[in-house]
Amino acid sequence: MSINLELTDKKAPISDEIRISTRDLSLYYGDFQALRNITLDILENAITAIIGPSGCGKSTFLRLFNRMNDLITGVRVEGSVELDGVNIYDKDIDVVELRKRVGMVFQKPNPFPMSVFENVAFGPKRHGRKNRMELEDIVEKSLKQAALWDEVEDKLGQSALALSGGQQQRLCIARVLAVEPEVILMDEPCSALDPIATLRIEDLMRSLAENYTIVIVTHNMQQAARASDMSAFFMMEDDRAGILVEYGPTEKLFTNPEDKRTEDYITGRFG
């Protein structure tokens, strides 16, 4: 078997502690089953890549972790999703607080039509932070964490829409970081970016993984191989329900997968 992908040397996850776990998880859109019986554990301070062909439920699975699917009429979830041992689908869960703990970066950069400063300060303000000096500290810290401060420190009052695509995506990451999440979800965060901007985001992910748990959906096999510690391969069954085929350390999954379907997808035989 030959899988022509370059795997970069990556440090092992800082911890083998489980941050998020799913058990027998299924999701339905009305009568249509989009996910079937997904069970896996996502490690703290690791980057986990969700890979698989289009339509297999990768983004739907990602959105389970901060209950973004709740916004879609007719969605029903069975099984459990636990964050630090607590089922986030229990009726007593505060969804606003959950989304503060579990932030999300979307496929296309989506800065608000306001200044760079106000984009980053938006979340903290919504959560009650009003002191100007405190907000300035949060904005600076978040932009530095997102590797953007040096490029925008003289442009904080300018429109965020004037930034380049790669800068806008890092601004969106800074906006997530400003509310001090524990988990960062990234849904194809580099698909709209050029190769140089993509590598900057990947380097940023590796840096952020020292302090955050990151889950990323990507169609880019090279990106999954370069950036992630763990990988989960999804595909569709005949009725179009998404299933988990294989999950494990990225290096093993890409070089010595246990399932022939994983090998076929990674080597480009389908998908």
pLDDT digits (tens, 9 = 90+) for 121-139: 999 999 899 899 999 999 9
- Crossing angle of helices 116-126 and 165-177, in 10° steps, is 20
pLDDT over 90 at 8, yes or no: no
Name the pTM for this structure: 0.92
Going from N- to C-terminal start, the domains of the chain cover 18-112+181-266
- Per DSSP, the residues of 76-107 read EEEEEEEETTEETTSTT--HHHHHHHEEEE-S
CATH number 3.40.50.300 is the correct assignment for the domain at 18-112+181-266: yes
**Predicted pLDDT of residue 270:** 73
pLDDT for 77-102, tens place per residue? 999 999 999 999 999 999 999 999 99
- Quote the longest CA-to-CA distance of the chain: 59
| Planar angle of CA 213, 216, 222, nearest 5 degrees | 120
